[in-house]
Amino acid sequence: MAEQARSLNGVLGEDADLLEASAWLHDIGYSPDLAKTGFHPLDGARYLRDVQNADQELCSLVAYHSGAVVEAEERGMPGVLESEFAHPRQDLLEALTYSDMTTGPDGTHLSVERRLSEILERYAPDHLVHRAITRSSPTLTSAVRVVEQRLANAR
């Protein structure tokens, strides 16, 4: 995923390093040592903020990545992200979403449609992640398309 983030250097300019750092760290909340709530975007962002004193924008990107607001709702935690973390810049969140939604778990590059399908295949239809991804799919796809257009315009 960091490789996909790096591919956006030409359109992000001075924010390229921030995006790459967020790509490396976006799933840090899955670490068993950090998993306090079981909601990895929140657990990761809290760790980065509270333990590592990380940059606020980096923490926000981790907190909000890849449809996290919808997953928070599915977990019965509406508003939790907004109460703790400012919403990141839209262009950076779209870039992080692009990086995540075009990279498979093994690092292969995928279309956003294939990536969403791959996620849905891992979870039963009644699982909250399946429901969250289903609800988030239009927004996630739109973010990928926006970044693809930015890349095309930069060529």
Distances (CA, A) of 10 to 17, 64, 79, 119, 134: 12, 23, 34, 29, 31
Q: 117-154, pLDDT tens digit by residue?
A: 999 999 999 999 999 999 999 999 999 999 999 999 99
Q: What is the pLDDT of residue 155?
A: 82
Q: What is the pLDDT of residue 142?
A: 98
What are the average pLDDT values for consecutive 10-residue runs of the chain, which has 155 residues? 93 95 97 96 98 98 98 96 97 98 96 98 97 98 98 92
Task: Report how far residue 64's alpha carbon sits from residue 130's, in angstroms, rounded to the nearest whole number.
Answer: 17
Distances (CA, A) of 145 to 58, 95, 121: 23, 10, 22
Task: Report how far residue 138's alpha carbon sits from residue 17's, in angstroms, rounded to the nearest whole number.
Answer: 27
Prediction pTM value = 0.96
DSSP-based three-state secondary structure for 87: coil
Bridge partner residues of 112 (DSSP)? none
DSSP string for residues in 115-153: HHHHHHHHS-TTSHHHHHHHHHHHHHHHHHHHHHHHHHH
